[in-house]
Structure 1
Amino acid sequence: MSVVIPAYNPDHKLLDLLDKLIRFSFHEIVVINDGSHLESQTIFDKISKEYSNCVLLEHPENKGKGRALKTAFQYYKDHHPEGVGMVTADADGQHSPEDIKRVAEALIDKPEELVLGVRDFTTENIPFRSRFGNNMTKSVLRLTSGMKVTDTQTGLRGIPREFGRELLYVEGDRYEFEMRMILACKTYKREISEVEIETIYIDENESSHFNPIVDSIKIYYVFLRFLVSSAASFLVDIGMFALFSAIFKAFLPIGFIVVPTILARIVSSLFNYFVNRNIVFKSYKYTKRTLVKYYALAVVILAGSSAGVHYLYEWIGDHEVLIKLGVDSVLFLFSFYIQKAWVFDQSPAESIREVEYE
């Protein structure tokens, strides 16, 4: 079992953590210098000279926490092909050695599951930006994927050996990678275990490089692209309807509403399909298959909207516009989830096989 500690501009707290971890029977401790400033070089020099149980990996420039973790995963894959896995921890002293050991023990008990060391965010000593960031990310995670996780931002995680190998092919080099690690559990059909850990914040978490607004936007940039794509498709639909209705009104006075509506919807749906395929979800394979899935989903969404509005209106008896707005909002989130998980599924496992057998 190895402990992995990504470090960017660390201070003495990293050395304090290493001193304490040495007392436990970890096989090794892997520290990644992620392009830290020269002021921190004395820390890394001391690690390489005085800590025989530590392996120091270095990036010549800052590449982000996600990339630092992948560097460690690659190292573990190359040097410990039969190992149980790794425990990742932060370098700022906010994970106690006892909790790191507890997560390691949980990983040994469940070697196929991602183990998260989760904090209690209901206590009063939680800094606002940490509470806000976690509440926002876990809410959006549950809304868009159906996954319920107590602490999405925890850096204390038990990574199974094979999962570490799979994570090498998951996108993201900075903090968004940690959220994608959680989402990858759904892709690779891995369970998630949680171990409650001590909640430690030093100096109101000032040493954290995580920005709850900026980094949350990066984490959910796929959903934001989906929103923009949907808005653009709506504008295309309106524009095409205006164009076709102007053309057909002159020689088709009876059906000039129905025909332009159908033609505009065909054009806008094709536009939406190609934007979602190539830009939102970046799925470049199986055009015919994804096109069939896309329109099958469109039929389900249309039927769900019609039936939902109809039956809710029958039950309530009024407010049909508000009912449609509510139903279509729920179906919009459903559409995003199904397009991501089924229509444009990237099948990372296939990507791994392609790389290995090139």
Structure 2
Amino acid sequence: MKNCIIVIPVLDPNDAFTPYVKQLVQEDFKSIIIVNDGSSNEKTQIFEKLDELPEVTVLTHAVNMGKGRALKNAFNYILNDPELSTQDGVITVDGDGQHKVSDVLKLCSELEGKSSSLLLGVRHFQEDNVPWTSRMGNTITRRLFKLLYGEGLNDTQTGLRGLSTDILPDFAAIEGERYSYETNMLIVAIHKGIAIKEVTIATVYIKDNEESHFNPVKDSVEIYVLLFKNFFKFMSVSFTSFLIDISFFQIFLFILGFLMTRRRIIAATLLARAVSSLFNYTVNRKWVFESKKRWKHTLFSYYGLVAVEAMASGLSVYWLFQLTGIKEVILKVFVDAILFMISYRIQKFLIFKSHEN
């Protein structure tokens, strides 16, 4: 008996769906949870027949709620069942027949005895049967994911995944109702320090993936908004810090009016930067990166980065000015934009990075 639970979210299954489920049963999977995500009434008989199988449980959404919601409801169902929650893990399978049973078996075998593991069934997108839209979408998404989260994954949108049972609570209530949920699973796994392992599977696309319910515009936008969410937060905090810096610079110039001009400007600059950088540090730590590290483990590293950035900015602008003669302010915008991206990655992956294992 296979010690893995199969979860299949499905909307309006085709004629091959029932034979596919029965093949899983023949392979000795004893716990198969099918989530009928608001299928039409014409498909009711398919689910009723499958629900009669002792190995199959059908959960039903009265209306279509999305793949992410279907997976989360299945995970909650498993966690609330004393017997199911003791299994080795869960294998999520798409309902369109594009995941071979042999690959499902492969992931189940990989999960045996494992803890804190997320497995990804990885396809080869260079094969001739892959639609160009899927190839392009995967290329863009995985490169953005690498840039923003530092993890090089070959297939960020695969629906064939294995999760050890102990990490199900980490994914049972996270953001994402449709396909963006699967992207958020990867982000949460990285944030929590959960091991991600890629397992090569067959690359199957039936009729150019025409039965997929993935909306190329709506779902892609949701995925990319989610990918950039942290970066947008970082940008908004940085802009707010800039406004605070400018505002306090004016205030301190007024307060220190009794000093000589040079001393007044230098003092106002340092005091304003102290206020704005403290705000930036606090909000980045708590809100942007949600770091669990204590402040004493991050404060000195953060201000060390601030000092290095300031020095790098000044020296780079001076050197480029001497080399090109372009106006300093234009060079500073260019240099600081590059340093801004570097700062984001350093803060995310070094200073504020924390695991919750």
Please, what TM-score do these two structures have when normalized by structure 2? 0.79
Evaluate the alpha carbon distance shift between residue 109 and residue 250 of structure 1 in structure 2; reply closer, same or farther with a 3 A threshold.
Answer: same
| Amino acid corresponding to residue 71 of structure 2 in structure 1 | L
| Amino acid corresponding to residue 204 of structure 1 in structure 2 | D
Q: Which residue of 2 aligns with 1:336?
A: 348
Residues 226-246 of structure 1, C-alpha deviation per residue, up to 9 Å, x if partnerless?
A: 222222322332343345435
Task: Look up the SS of the partner of 2:120 in the other structure.
Answer: strand
Q: Is the contact made by 2:88 and 2:113 (CA closer than 8 Å) also made in structure 1?
A: no
Displacement, 1:155?
A: 0.8
Displacement, 1:26?
A: 1.0
| Amino acid corresponding to residue 21 of structure 1 in structure 2 | L
Q: Is the contact made by 1:144 and 1:337 (CA closer than 8 Å) also made in structure 2?
A: no
Evaluate the alpha carbon distance shift between residue 187 and residue 275 of structure 1 in structure 2; reply closer, same or farther with a 3 A threshold.
Answer: closer
Q: Which residue of 2 aligns with 1:21?
A: 24
Cα distance in 2 for residues equivalent to 1:37 and 1:243: 65
How many pairs are equivalent? 340
Cα distance in 1 for residues equivalent to 2:132 and 2:222: 16
Please, what TM-score do these two structures have when normalized by structure 1? 0.79
Q: Is 1:236 aligned to 2:244, yes or no? A: yes
Q: Which residue of 2 aligns with 1:48?
A: 51
Evaluate the alpha carbon distance shift between residue 27 and residue 111 of structure 1 in structure 2; reply closer, same or farther with a 3 A threshold.
Answer: farther
Q: Counterparts of 1:197-212 in structure 2 under 5 Å?
A: 197-206=201-210, 207-209=212-214, 211-212=219-220
Evaluate the alpha carbon distance shift between residue 233 and residue 312 of structure 1 in structure 2; reply closer, same or farther with a 3 A threshold.
Answer: closer
Q: Which residue of 1 aligns with 2:271?
A: 263
Q: Is the contact made by 2:9 and 2:95 (CA closer than 8 Å) also made in structure 1?
A: yes
Displacement, 1:87?
A: 0.9
Residues 142-169 of structure 1, C-alpha deviation per residue, up to 9 Å, x if partnerless?
A: 2233222211111101111212244335
For structure 1, the residue ranges without an aligned partner over 5 or more in a row are 350-358
Evaluate the alpha carbon distance shift between residue 300 and residue 205 of structure 1 in structure 2; reply closer, same or farther with a 3 A threshold.
Answer: farther
For structure 2, the residue ranges without an aligned partner over 5 or more in a row are 325-330
Q: Is 1:193 aligned to 2:197, yes or no? A: yes
Q: Identity of aligned pairs, percent?
A: 33
Evaluate the alpha carbon distance shift between residue 159 and residue 266 of structure 1 in structure 2; reply closer, same or farther with a 3 A threshold.
Answer: same
Displacement, 1:126?
A: 2.4
Cα distance in 2 for residues equivalent to 1:280 and 1:202: 41
Q: Which residue of 2 aligns with 1:57?
A: 59
Displacement, 1:340?
A: 5.2
Q: Is the contact made by 2:5 and 2:84 (CA closer than 8 Å) also made in structure 1?
A: no
Q: Is the contact made by 1:14 and 1:92 (CA closer than 8 Å) also made in structure 2?
A: yes
Evaluate the alpha carbon distance shift between residue 328 and residue 153 of structure 1 in structure 2; reply closer, same or farther with a 3 A threshold.
Answer: same
Q: Is 1:221 aligned to 2:221, yes or no? A: no
Task: Look up the SS of the partner of 1:199 in the other structure.
Answer: coil
Query: Which sits farther off after the overlay, 27-36 or 151-160?
Result: 27-36
Evaluate the alpha carbon distance shift between residue 8 and residue 159 of structure 1 in structure 2; reply closer, same or farther with a 3 A threshold.
Answer: same
Q: Is the contact made by 1:6 and 1:32 (CA closer than 8 Å) also made in structure 2?
A: yes
Q: Is the contact made by 1:104 and 1:158 (CA closer than 8 Å) also made in structure 2?
A: yes
Q: Which residue of 1 aligns with 2:13?
A: 10
Q: Is 1:148 aligned to 2:156, yes or no? A: no
Q: Is the contact made by 2:148 and 2:227 (CA closer than 8 Å) also made in structure 1?
A: no
Cα distance in 1 for residues equivalent to 2:297 and 2:133: 40
The root-mean-square deviation of aligned C-alpha atoms, in Å, is 3.4
Q: Which residue of 1 aligns with 2:100?
A: 96
Task: Look up the SS of the partner of 1:225 in the other structure.
Answer: helix
Residues 205-243 of structure 1, C-alpha deviation per residue, up to 9 Å, x if partnerless?
A: 331325223322124322222222222322332343345
1:82 aligned to which of 82, 86, 101: 86
Cα distance in 2 for residues equivalent to 1:310 and 1:156: 49
Cα distance in 2 for residues equivalent to 1:323 and 1:216: 26
Q: Which residue of 2 aligns with 1:356?
A: none
2:111 aligned to which of 107, 115, 120: 107
Displacement, 1:30?
A: 0.7
Q: Which residue of 1 aligns with 2:121?
A: 117
